[in-house]
Amino acid sequence: MTAIDDRMTGIFENLEVPEGVKAELIRGEIVMMAGADMVHNLIIRAIQHQSPYARWNALTTQDVAFPRDASEPQPDLVVFERGAAEESGRLLPALAVTLVVEVVSKTSVLRDYRTKRELYAEGQIPAYLIVDPIKGVCVLLTEPSRAAASGLPDYAVERTAKFGEAIPLDLLGITLDTSEFQTYA
């Protein structure tokens, strides 16, 4: 990290965010977003309820640490195995995470489909699920690696399913039911 990255991390850690606003540190940039749509929240709740509680923690407001990248995103949902990391503190190490979920909003399309895709792949997070209520699809990305053509971090496997189709989440040992997922009005 550079001195600027360290400074931005310090500013971010001391930032007072108004209630109803979400803030993330993404590659040295502080990104603030308004509260989520009800559709977004219901999708996250549906995924949380399908995550096997006995083995997995599925958290909605957990910051994830990417120390080499000056990033501390707060995915819409982060799933990690019980005992994979200390269960205290503000930051969860990216290497402890099994699945991140982002629900796309009108203002987060580029961040969710490109910036965070690269960030999560670089952090070696085994699975990234993009749920898109704009298009009515889910994109499951697995096997983080480097793209052959660009050399940038990416996922080697991409599976797209329409809302209503089941999605196998083999890493969690479940098949995700998306029949309750709705699109934005």
pLDDT in tens, 108-154: 999 999 999 999 999 999 999 999 999 999 999 999 998 767 888 99
Across residues 43-62, what is the average pLDDT? 96
For residue 21, what is the enclosing H or E element? strand 21-26
CATH superfamily of the domain spanning 36-176: tt1808, chain A (3.90.1570.10)
User: Mean pLDDT across the stretch 1-27?
Assistant: 67
Q: Which helix (H) or strand (E) holds 155?
A: strand 153-162
Work out the percent of the chain whose per-residue pLDDT is above 70: 89
Domain ranges of the chain: 36-176
Rg (the chain; Cα; Å): 16
Give the residue with greater pLDDT, 15 vs 172: 172
Q: Which residues contact 70 (CB under 8 A, 6 or more apart)?
A: 1, 2, 5, 8, 9, 25, 27, 28
Residue 178 carries which DSSP code? Answer: -
Q: How far apart are the first and last CA of the chain?
A: 42
Q: What is the pLDDT of residue 5?
A: 60
Split at pLDDT 50, 70, 90, the class of 14 is confident
Confidence (pTM): 0.85
